[in-house]
Amino acid sequence: MAIRTEGLHHVTAIAGNPQRNVDFYARTLGLRLVKTTVNFDDPGTYHLYYGDDAGRPGTIMTFFPWNDVAKGRQGTGQATTTAFSVPANSIGWWQGHLAQVEVKTSRITTRDDEDTLTFTDPDGLTIALVAHKQADPRNPWDTPLVPGEHAIRGLHSVTLSVSQEDATAEMLTDGLGLTFLHQDGNRLRFAAGDGGPGALVDVLVTPDAPSGLVAGGTVHHVAWRVPDDTTQQAWREELVGKGVKVTPIMDRQYFHSIYFREPGGTLLEVATDDIGFTADEPLLELGRALKLPPWLEPDRDQIAAGLVKLNLPDENNPEVAEKLAAR
């Protein structure tokens, strides 16, 4: 079987204060908080998932928010920009909205015939909003601050910064089945599947940049889509056969995952599309309660007592979800 991912599954980053993280991504950017759980490897901290109205693969941004996290450093060997797709006529609205809530943005630039607005989140993570000219049918989350007509549709692309491009390009094409599209200066663009928002990755070659330090305000890993467990097992065997050091399959409750590091340094994940966030709570209630995997349930009281209580946005409520589900 030749590996051929259909695109990005999710991006996971490290943040500081969890309430500030909720306020920015659920309120300012208008994403839906689709799961409130803990870091399975460190249950003393949250793992917060944001996405479209159901948290579908390709729309998901997740965070490990540690209150006292040290600040990281952006550089080579990591994903340095996470881009989201917004409607073609909405980039001006977003510029005005972000100015209103006092988020400093770049000027609007155009790359690959797409308008782009760039800014940083409260922890210094670089975020871009890209106005893609083709229709993006993914389901937005409708909130009072960010109406559905302008809302984020899902991930657009990620940028991997490397000191040398050859081995990373080989991993993307031969290892994950992406197609090389073109090169613009020191930026190479690749596409998964048929391309378009959620299926793009840029490789930015910066030989003189410092190595990145993964900590607060940086991306921890980038996950790619695989349809199901059977295909994931086959892909794992194929990667191992090529000499890639791949982890065993891990149960992440809402998908199954394998991890490996691309030669340029970025940690990659391949995550299954099946299972989903309604595995342990109904669609209308997503994100409102602390959910734990079965193996952590015996310690629920202790875990919950150690977490900061979150003030969730009013729009993360069943009435809005019901309206969206009825469309």
Pairing of strands 42-51, 60-65: antiparallel
Beta bridge partners of 51: 32
What percent of the chain clears pLDDT 90, i.e. is strictly above it?
89
Q: For 52-91, how does the pLDDT look when each residue is reduced to its tens digit (9 = 90+)? A: 999 999 999 999 999 999 999 999 999 999 999 999 999 9
pLDDT at 326: 57
* CB burial of residue 113 (10 Å; 0-12, 13-18, 19+): exposed
> Can you give the pLDDT at residue 317?
55
> Is 224 in contact with 5 (CB distance < 8 Å)?
yes
Q: Which domains does the chain have, with CATH numbers?
A: 7-323 (3.10.180.10)
pLDDT at 123: 97
Nearest to 192 by CA among 41, 1, 60, 4: 4
User: How far is residue 139's CA from residue 148's CA, in Å, rounded to a whole number?
Assistant: 9
Measured from the Cβ of residue 207, the count of other Cβ atoms closer than 10 Å reads 10
DSSP letters along 220-268, please?
A: EEEEEEESSHHHHHHHHHHHHHTT---PPPEE-SSSEEEEEE-TTS-EE
**CA-wise closest residue to 58 among 238, 205, 255:** 255
pLDDT digits (tens, 9 = 90+) for 229-288: 999 999 999 999 999 999 999 999 999 999 999 999 999 999 999 999 999 999 999 999
Q: What is the pLDDT of residue 125?
A: 98
Arithmetic mean of pLDDT, 166-183: 97
- What is the tens place of the pLDDT at every residue in 14-65? 999 999 999 999 999 999 999 999 999 999 999 999 999 999 999 999 999 9
Those residues with Cβ within 8 angstroms of residue 159's Cβ, 6 or more apart along the chain or in another chain: 79, 80, 81, 83, 187, 201, 202, 203, 204
158: Cβ contacts below 8 Å, ≥ 6 apart: 8, 11, 79, 81, 82, 83, 201, 202, 219, 222
- State pLDDT tens for residues 96-149: 999 999 999 999 999 888 999 999 999 999 999 999 887 888 999 999 899 999
